Chain A
Amino acid sequence: MKHVTEEELIAYRERVAEQRSMISEHLAACKECRQELERIEAVLEALDSLPVPDPGADYGRQVWKEIAPRLTVKPERWWQVWLEPRRLAAAGAVLALIVAAFVAGRVTNRGGTGDNVASKEQVRERVLVVAVGEHLGHSERMLVELSNAAPNDPKQREVNISAEQRRAEDLLQENRLYRQTALQEGDAGLASVLDELERVLLDVAHSPDQVTPAQLEAIQKKIEARGILFKVRVVNKELQQRQEASEPAPSQNDSTKRKRSNI
């Protein structure tokens, strides 16, 4: 007879076993496995005897007394959270990119010739290059600030990084959009760096508001170990070069003519 494993017995005892009825049947027939289960149960029952102190009947009131003075900011509904200025700014930046790409497509699509299609792609890419360049610049500044952060006083037990954390949250949303766009555009190199940046932003966004100097050092080491600042700088430089190279040569197309006539 094949016995039930220790893992299966523990899963059975903790009610997470998938083949519960099969184990029950085996236990009914197998004394050895029953004894093994009893040994496991004896340990768990001993643990159950560990007391939990009674915090007292008015504990709830005590907790309220402690926290009530600290409940200063009114909680917001989820949709109010999205109306916060910083989130609106991030959403605005993303919307601006979409609108710019759409307008660029419309403007260059007139006529529908092969050249115009190519031009439409170029303009879209230019919009992406400018927007991502700006995003990388913001990310770089935030990471540099975080890398240089240090306690004001050597005795300080915690460092407040809530500002960097909030910026990382905003950058994270933008980063996801740019990474997906870069992937759609077939720019695997850019998508890969944005992916790495996303992981770092995620780490920062999920850090506690207050970190100990040791935790701060760990975050800084992680940023350094991934070499993300260097990669961001290199890609940003490349994007600038791409932007310069794709600047249209002055030509007498419709839009420039129209602009000039407005001056």
Chain B
Amino acid sequence: MNRMQQSVDSTQAIAESDAIAVERTLAGDRDAYRVLVERHSHNVFRLAYRMTGNRHDAEEVVQEAFLRGYQKLGQFAARSNFGTWVYRIAANYAIDRMRRRQKEDARREAPRTDGKDGMEDDPLNRVKDEAPTPERLTQSIELRKQMEHALAALSEAERTAFVMRHWEGCGIEEIAAVLKSSSNATKNTVFRAVQKLRIALQPFVETRAQARAMGTES
């Protein structure tokens, strides 16, 4: 049996086992839900961390996703995949949380948003302004900071689309369902996200590549 076949079989076995756990939970066996929580927590955490960008928020998202999943379990269609379903709940909650965080941040930063030269306060501009010296650029940690800044500068829809597509390999239809958008609009959102990341990061990535080529970075 090849590896791909094994992987498909294993996914099917998990889905079947999930369906049994869902049925038992609905029949009143609360501990059956524990199996689902323990099985899917890591995946949901990875998604939540990539979407929120910090561990504390990611842990909150994971807990809330499983709580909401439990409350809405009756609406879960048995033929669906529980992992995908709870994943979607987590993505929706992470979006709400990011939106709330952005609004709070915007309120706090309100007095500073009116630039002296009247330029729009685009977070990507801030990334450029905070560009470190070429020496420091050679350090991976600086690139990492830039990447975190660039990801944080994406809108919540762009970040969600990018995380779900690029890192989590979700289908466009699935992402569109989370974003409550059409497939074409979702594809555009993925494009905008990558384009913005590229604008923000390409100079740093190229500088690091040059430094590597010259042997100045270990």
Contacts and interface: CB of A to CB of B under 8 A. Distances in A.
Chain B interface residue count: which class? 35 or more
A92 interface: no
Contacts, number: 120
A67 B103 contact: no
Nearest to B44: A63
A7 B45 CA distance: 30
B25 A7 contact: no
A46 interface: yes
B55 A53 contact: yes
A6 B70 contact: no
Given A14-B166, A50-B147, A63-B41, A78 B75 contact: yes
Interface string A51-76: 01101000111011011101101111
A9 to B, nearest CB: 9
A71 B67 contact: yes
A214 B107 contact: yes
B191 A60 contact: no
Contacts of A215: 100
Contacts of B205: 42-43, 46
Interface in B34-76: 34, 37-42, 45-46, 49-50, 55, 59, 62-63, 66-67, 70-75
B74 A75 contact: yes
A169 B75 CA distance: 16
Interface string B75-100: 10000000000000000000010001
Interface of B: 25-26, 28, 30, 33-34, 37-42, 45-46, 49-50, 55, 59, 62-63, 66-67, 70-75, 96, 100, 103, 107, 140, 143-144, 147-148, 151, 165-167, 172, 187, 190-191, 194-195, 197-198, 201-202, 205-206, 208-209
